[in-house]
């Protein structure tokens, strides 16, 4: 309790949390030898080529029959591709090496009592979308091994200066960008701007582009709309060559509801990977909530962490939606006004145990890895190790800072800005807790909201950004835009974050293609030409 005397009344709960973590870690080590070996489900399940033949396994305890279907079977369930059921509802099949070939599309035909449907394997490592039907399928993907040459790279021993970026909307053109284009065109800009860490969004496959990557369907598959897995490896490899660490926006807080693409009703049941009943439905996100207390779910998610670190050389993760994971009420419409709110029985102890195990695994695999929590409740112990009653994160995102800046700009005139209040808001955190501060992230740039530069400059930015058309409103906007960032980074205790383009005052908002905007990409891009224009 040396770091926070307010926690003394809750010592029994904290000790129980620590005991539970150590007991679970002991169980895993006893049964599997190590946490790393426990997190190896991706090596067991899914499609693999071993001993000169194809091996495929899937966990589907409610299934009565299971078939691999694809171009090799005319997309029909055939006896030669029927899986055999084993212990614990694990189905498997072995196929001759010549039956499947690199690039083949495939799915599962899942049969259960009273129904049957197509499913994409839970551990699929490559998915693609048909441009005509828009349906997704898994793809046999066994190219020549990628040649890494980043072995001399180490995560910088410096405060994390994080550049938050989205591959698809990183291009100036009105279309979806690629991993290769990002590596060749955007990484040099990030390096030149002085950032040492790239936070890459929307990596895991997601059916709806406009979800910003947060409604994940295939947790082990890099999004195919941006390129191949090797293209993503090329991006990470090049970033490392430039001295830039790469962390991934990891979504383990929920999963998309889609059934044919995702895990929902995977084997005909609602609660295979998720909670049963209303607990399995997120009330605000229209998505499914994982049952973190289930052994198979723990293995699935922990293996996912290991997979991205080992296979793609990611240097850590930003865990999305941590507050939603921590509480049964998901933090919705809840004001956290006292420490009682952190220990009132509304905490999901299974989720907390999972996060502590995940961070233990991440730092075992990659001792210099960065682990960030998107957490807004102020839960104590977020950045303490699991063995010290914590969750093991390196940083908490300081989500109140952008809210403070926006409130100040909206409600106060310049002369009413209180320097003491500003300093207090930017530096209030527990002394043992490192935070990542920021003026604005992707959240503040979405349609329906406004970027800081747009709040400051408003409509004048359309006519008076040219250097030969001086304007006091624009001059003030640019000065404050710079000042806010200077103050925020100067008072940051741990790290600083910026969403791509906001550093130079990218105009307007983000609006992904959708029916309401006639599927336009006009606002789903970054206009680098504005930054490069010397007359602006």
CB 6 within 8 A of CB 435: no
Partner residues linked to 497 by β-bridges:
162, 438
Q: How far apart are CA 280 and CA 130, in angstroms?
A: 30
Q: Is 514 exposed, middle or buried (0-12, 13-18, 19+ CB in 10 A)?
A: middle
Other C-beta atoms within 10 Å of 151: how many? 7
- From 134, 53, 147, select the one nearest 92 (Cα to Cα): 53
Helix 349-365 with 11-32: angle, nearest 10 deg: 50
Other C-beta atoms within 10 Å of 203: how many? 24
Please tell me the number of Cα atoms within 13 Å of 237 on its side-chain side: 16
At CA 24, angle to CA 5 and CA 349, rounded to 5? 50
**Residue 408 tokens, joined:** 């100040």
Q: Write the DSSP assignment of 70-100 as a string of letters.
A: EGGGTTS--GGGBPEE-GGGEEEEEEETTTS
**Which is the catalytic residue, given 261, 374, 503, 511?**
374
Q: How far apart are CA 107 and CA 215, in angstroms?
A: 20
Q: CA separation (Å) from 240 to 234, 314, 473? A: 10, 10, 41
Residue corresponding to tokens 């952008």? 402
374 is catalytic: yes
149 is catalytic: no
Q: How far apart are CA 109 and CA 302, in angstroms?
A: 27
- From 162, 160, 238, 193, select the one nearest 528 (Cα to Cα): 193
- From 232, 236, 246, 248, select the one nearest 150 (Cα to Cα): 236
**Which is the catalytic residue, given 58, 230, 231, 320?**
320
Active site positions, annotated: 320, 374
């Amino acid at each position: 309790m040396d770091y926070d005397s307010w926690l003394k009344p809750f010592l029994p709960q904290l000790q129980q949390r620590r005991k539970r973590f150590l007991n679970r870690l002991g169980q895993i080590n006893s049964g599997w030898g190590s946490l790393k070996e426990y997190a190896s489900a991706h090596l067991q399940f899914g499609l693999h080529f071993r001993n000169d033949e194809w091996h495929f396994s899937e966990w589907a305890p409610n299934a009565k029959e299971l078939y691999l279907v694809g171009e090799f079977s005319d997309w029909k369930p055939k006896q030669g591709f029927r899986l055999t059921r084993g212990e614990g509802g694990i189905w498997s099949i072995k196929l001759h090496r010549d039956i499947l070939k690199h690039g083949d599309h495939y799915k599962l035909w899942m049969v259960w009592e009273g129904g049957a449907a197509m499913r994409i394997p839970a551990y699929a490592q490559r998915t693609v979308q048909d441009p005509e039907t828009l349906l997704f399928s898994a793809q046999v993907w066994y190219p020549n091994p990628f040649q890494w040459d980043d072995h001399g790279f180490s995560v910088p021993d410096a405060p994390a200066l994080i550049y938050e970026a989205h591959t698809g909307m990183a291009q100036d053109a009105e279309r979806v960008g690629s991993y290769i284009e990002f590596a060749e065109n955007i990484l040099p800009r990030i390096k030149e701007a002085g950032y040492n860490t790239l936070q890459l969004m929307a990596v895991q496959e997601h059916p709806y582009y406009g979800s910003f990557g947060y409604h994940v369907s295939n947790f082990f598959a890099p999004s195919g709309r941006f390129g191949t897995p090797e293209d993503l490896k090329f991006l990470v490899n090049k970033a490392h060559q430039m001295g830039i660490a790469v962390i991934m926006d990891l979504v383990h807080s929920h999963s998309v509801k889609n059934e044919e693409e995702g895990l929902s009703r995977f084997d005909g049941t609602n609660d295979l990977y998720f909670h049963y009943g209303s607990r399995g439905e997120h009330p605000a996100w229209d998505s499914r909530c994982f049952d973190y207390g289930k052994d198979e779910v723990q293995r699935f998610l922990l293996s996912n962490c290991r997979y991205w670190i080992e296979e793609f050389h990611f240097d850590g993760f930003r865990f999305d939606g941590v507050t939603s994971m921590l509480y049964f009420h998901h933090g919705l419409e809840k004001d956290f006004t006292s420490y009682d709110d952190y220990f009132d029985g509304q905490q999901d102890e299974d989720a907390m145990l999972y996060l502590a195990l995940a961070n233990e695994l991440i730092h075992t695999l990659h001792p210099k890895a960065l682990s960030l929590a998107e957490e807004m409740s102020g839960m104590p112990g977020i950045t303490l190790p699991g063995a010290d009653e914590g969750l093991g994160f390196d940083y908490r995102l300081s989500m109140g800072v952008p809210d403070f800046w926006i409130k100040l700009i909206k409600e106060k005139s310049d002369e009413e800005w209180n320097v003491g209040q500003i300093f207090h808001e930017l530096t209030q955190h527990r002394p043992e807790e490192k935070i990542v501060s920021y003026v604005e992230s992707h959240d503040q740039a979405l349609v329906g909201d406004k970027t800081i530069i747009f709040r400051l400059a408003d409509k004048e930015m359309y006519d008076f950004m040219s250097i030969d058309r001086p304007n006091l409103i624009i001059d003030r906007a640019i000065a404050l835009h710079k000042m806010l960032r200077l103050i925020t980074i100067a008072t940051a205790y741990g790290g600083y974050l910026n969403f791509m383009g906001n550093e130079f005052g990218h105009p307007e908002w983000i609006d992904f293609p959708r029916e309401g905007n006639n599927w336009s990409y006009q606002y789903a891009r970054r206009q680098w030409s504005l930054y490069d224009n010397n007359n602006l």
